[in-house]
A = this chain, B = another copy of it.
């Protein structure tokens, strides 16, 4: 390293700059989105990145302002047949009842304990809220994190028999990495629980907890018997991060309007609208689940079933066309869905 230390400061800076420029060129020659077929969706992503990160572009965006937001369920990973967080809550019920035996014969806990899937499918939204409150609140933040971490490591999806964290869409993982490599800060903006997603977001998506915006409850600061302070998760809703709650949550947690937003359902409509309403180049994309063979098919196309989660209505499809949002067809745009798929 001796010869290097004799460089003048200027020469060092120049050499560093040349190396960085070289690295950028080498990177540009490799396809950053190898799991995407060359179609309008891929082209829209690449064009957006070029337009906003090329210094010579009239729509150049300074690095500090490069924010991209992603819905999670159905956009980054599988949401069928049930959101994995709901599965978590249902599977936590026995432990909750063990700790609070008075709930054993009380609905909706009784039905969940029975394991009767038909009866469970009939539970109302109010029932579900009661289950969520009992399984997501009342414990310390640390205890909750430990429980979720354990569950995420052990739980398996019923169809692929794999951890839920392996059921992320490889093409979207590539978009996350591609945007980050171009100076974008990537955020998850999910209707799911913020605390839940934060447990695995870094390992699963490379997105740190502080870049996860989700439905969030309050916490209460208090002291343990040992005098140590801790936070307890309270059954008090601070942010319902769905629909209009998404742009509201983005303002609360990020404070800047995204330049790119990705979703897959009516719950993402306002986030996409808000993103596109900004000045300059803005990218809004919707994942359309039209691949019943490799994943699931549900959406506005005739013949596709209407499911309870991830509602992609005909109205949303029409708005996408009208507003210039790009619809991603899983069937046509994605060469493979999961990392474990054959290339």
What residues make up the interface of A, taking CB atoms closer than 8 Å to B? 1, 4-5, 12, 15-16, 18-19, 21-23, 64, 67, 141, 185, 194-195, 198, 202, 208-210, 212, 216, 218-221, 228-231, 238-239, 244, 247-248, 251-256, 270, 273-274, 277
Q: Write the nearest CB–CB distance from A62 to chain B, whole angstroms.
A: 10
Tell me how many chains of this kind the complex includes: 2
- Of B1, B64, B194, B239, the contact of A18 (CB 8 Å cutoff): B1
> Binding site of A, secondary structure by majority: helix, strand, loop or mixed?
helix
CA distance A198 to B255 in the complex (A): 8
- Known contacts: A244-B221, A252-B219. The answer to whether A16 contacts B18 by CB under 8 A is no
Which chain B residues lie closer than 8 Å to A194 at the CB level?
252, 255
Which chain B residues lie closer than 8 Å to A228 at the CB level?
277
CA distance A182 to B18 in the complex (A): 24
Q: Are B270 and A247 in contact (CB under 8 A)?
A: no
Closest to A254 in B: B210
CA distance A210 to B210 in the complex (A): 9
Q: Are B229 and A247 in contact (CB under 8 A)?
A: yes
- Of B16, B208, B212, B255, the contact of A64 (CB 8 Å cutoff): B208
Q: Are B247 and A221 in contact (CB under 8 A)?
A: yes
CA distance A43 to B132 in the complex (A): 48
Which chain B residues lie closer than 8 Å to A202 at the CB level?
64
- A-B pairs, 9 with minimum CB distance: A209-B255, A221-B244, A210-B254, A198-B255, A1-B18, A219-B248, A228-B277, A221-B247, A229-B273
Q: Write the nearest CB–CB distance from A170 to chain B, whole angstroms.
A: 23
CA distance A216 to B216 in the complex (A): 14
Which chain B residues lie closer than 8 Å to A64 at the CB level?
202, 208
**Chain B CB within 10 A, most for which of A12, A229, A273:** A229
Closest to A231 in B: B251
Q: Are B16 and A1 in contact (CB under 8 A)?
A: no
- Known contacts: A16-B19, A18-B4. The answer to whether A141 contacts B251 by CB under 8 A is yes
Closest to A141 in B: B251
Closest to A224 in B: B277
Q: Write the nearest CB–CB distance from A272 to chain B, whole angstroms.
A: 10
CA distance A4 to B216 in the complex (A): 51
Q: Write the nearest CB–CB distance from A253 to chain B, whole angstroms.
A: 6
Q: Are A4 and B16 in contact (CB under 8 A)?
A: no
- Known contacts: A221-B270, A238-B238, A255-B210. The answer to whether A15 contacts B5 by CB under 8 A is no
Which chain B residues lie closer than 8 Å to A256 at the CB level?
209-210
Q: Can you identify 6 A-B contacts, CB atoms within 8 angstroms? A: A5-B22, A19-B19, A219-B248, A219-B251, A229-B273, A231-B251
